[in-house]
Amino acid sequence: MIAMKLSFDVLRKSGPFIIGAVLVIVMALLPMLNIVIPGVLPGPTYQPGSLALLSLCMVYAAMALSYNLLLGTSGLLSFGHALYFGAGAYGLGILLSRTGLPFWVSTGVGLVGGLALALLSGAVALRTVGIAFAMVTLAFAQTGSLFVSRSSSLTGGEDGITVNTMNVPAAFVGILNTKNLYWLALVVLVLVYLVALWVDKSRLGHVAAATRENELRLRVLGLRPFTTKLIVFAIAGLMAAAAGMVYLLLQSGVGPKAVNYDLTVTILVMVVLGGVGYRWGAIVGGFVYTLLDQRLTALAQSDAVDSLPAFLRVPLSQPHFLLGIVFILIVMFSGGGIAGTVDSRIRRRDWRRAAEAALPRAGGDESVARPRLRP
């Protein structure tokens, strides 16, 4: 009995990692499989269109993971996180277009630039707290958006910047190589997840979580909440920059919208949708939001909607209206997001089983009815 219990405990602890490993393997095999998911993917999984959509989902999932480090781990509500996403995309694009640096060297330089930008802006923004912090990060994002919109000679202005394929490996160029970009996005998503896992499990993450709950107590204990938050802020910015680089390659360019605060709000919605504080919830939120955004746009432009009466056709022809309704319903009926709802049900089930196991059996008399348990 003890051996069985130990085996169950080990399986329970290692279960999430086993499930995650299996999902990664399945995702890695999708470009070689002929799987059709009607209403979700535009075609079989091996086709470039489906792979491009799934790649975009993984890019936004990585971005949501990075934002979850701020909001979920550290309790920092930022309205300027898109700045680092855009810095990674624009930085790599400018380096490939303006310099003769090899692709991987340009990638490294771009990541260092994104990290430096996050450190500098974070050192300023973290001098404030609460809504003031959110407004300072918003100001940084708007400044970045204004810069890329007006610097036409460097960033292409409102038209954005396109990728110079001469310095990009041939494996990442062309529609036929979409599967390679898909695998690149998957690798980046896994790396971002591992970094987020390391932060949450490390002393850094524990101090950041404690800072979120009671910063004054940590100061009394002699710890440095500012340094902790700055390091987490910089790591989140680095992760966002990596996601931005993959986005640049996937879209073959980038525009000012990648820096605007609208993107930050979108990522915030993904995190809330998946469940704040849950790493896998951020991934699920990124996938669900991106798929809904893409597929509801196709539905809004379909003949079925066009044939409806005007009082139905007008609102349903707006994909953001449909997406907003879905988001409102999920938030209303699952306050903790998708991951929070699943986690609460698992905890409720475990609590019920533990309580039932702890009840006395009244001397083995099975005729004695047990009371009904409620969480």
Per the model's pLDDT, the better-predicted residue between 78 and 359 turns out to be 78
pLDDT-wise least confident of 187-201, 232-246, 339-353:
339-353
Residues of the chain with pLDDT > 90, as a percent, come to 41
Strand partners, 253: 162
Q: Are strands 253-254 and 161-162 parallel, antiparallel or unpaired?
A: antiparallel
Give the per-residue pLDDT at 9: 52
pLDDT at 7 over 70: no
pLDDT at 5 over 70: no
DSSP per-residue letters across 148-183: HHH-HHHH-GGG-EE--GGGS-GGGSSGGGHHHHHH
pLDDT at 366 over 50: no
At residue 223 the predicted structure's pLDDT band, cuts being 50, 70 and 90, is confident
pLDDT-wise least confident of 77-91, 195-209, 283-297, 361-375:
361-375
Residue 253 has φ and ψ, to the nearest 5°, of: 165, 180
Strand partners, 161: 254
Give the per-residue pLDDT at 372: 44
Strand partners, 254: 161
pLDDT at 25 over 90: yes
* Closest listed residue to residue 268, CA positions, set 139, 2, 79, 129: 79
Q: Across the chain, what does the average pLDDT equal?
A: 84
At residue 195 the predicted structure's pLDDT band, cuts being 50, 70 and 90, is very high
Give the per-residue pLDDT at 311: 67
Residue 161 has φ and ψ, to the nearest 5°, of: -125, 140
The 10s digit of each residue's pLDDT in 38-49 is 878 888 988 998
Helix 279-300 to helix 337-358 angle, to the nearest 10 degrees? 130
Strand, coil or helix: what is 36?
Answer: coil
Separation CA 111–CA 89 (nearest Å): 10
At residue 77 the predicted structure's pLDDT band, cuts being 50, 70 and 90, is very high
Per the model's pLDDT, the better-predicted residue between 60 and 216 turns out to be 60
pLDDT at 213 over 80: yes
- Which residues does 169 contact at the CB level (< 8 Å), separation at least 6? 103
Give the per-residue pLDDT at 14: 65
Domain 46-355, CATH number (from 2.40.30, 2.40.160, 1.10.287, 1.10.3470)? 1.10.3470
Neighbours of 368 (CB within 10 A): 11
Give the per-residue pLDDT at 3: 47
At residue 373 the predicted structure's pLDDT band, cuts being 50, 70 and 90, is very low
Give the per-residue pLDDT at 39: 78
Strand partners, 162: 253
The 10s digit of each residue's pLDDT in 83-142 is 999 999 999 999 988 887 889 999 999 999 999 999 999 999 999 988 999 999 999 999
- CA-based R_g, the chain, Å: 23
Tokens 């524990």 -> residue: 206
Separation CA 64–CA 266 (nearest Å): 9
Give the per-residue pLDDT at 360: 58
At residue 53 the predicted structure's pLDDT band, cuts being 50, 70 and 90, is very high
pLDDT at 365 over 60: no
Once rounded to an integer, what is the mean pLDDT over residues 285-301? 83
Number of H helices, E strands in the chain: 16, 2
Q: Are 245 and 161 in contact (CB under 8 A)?
A: no
Separation CA 136–CA 230 (nearest Å): 15
Per the model's pLDDT, the better-predicted residue between 148 and 14 turns out to be 148
Residue ranges per structural domain of the chain: 46-355
Once rounded to an integer, what is the mean pLDDT over residues 286-309? 80
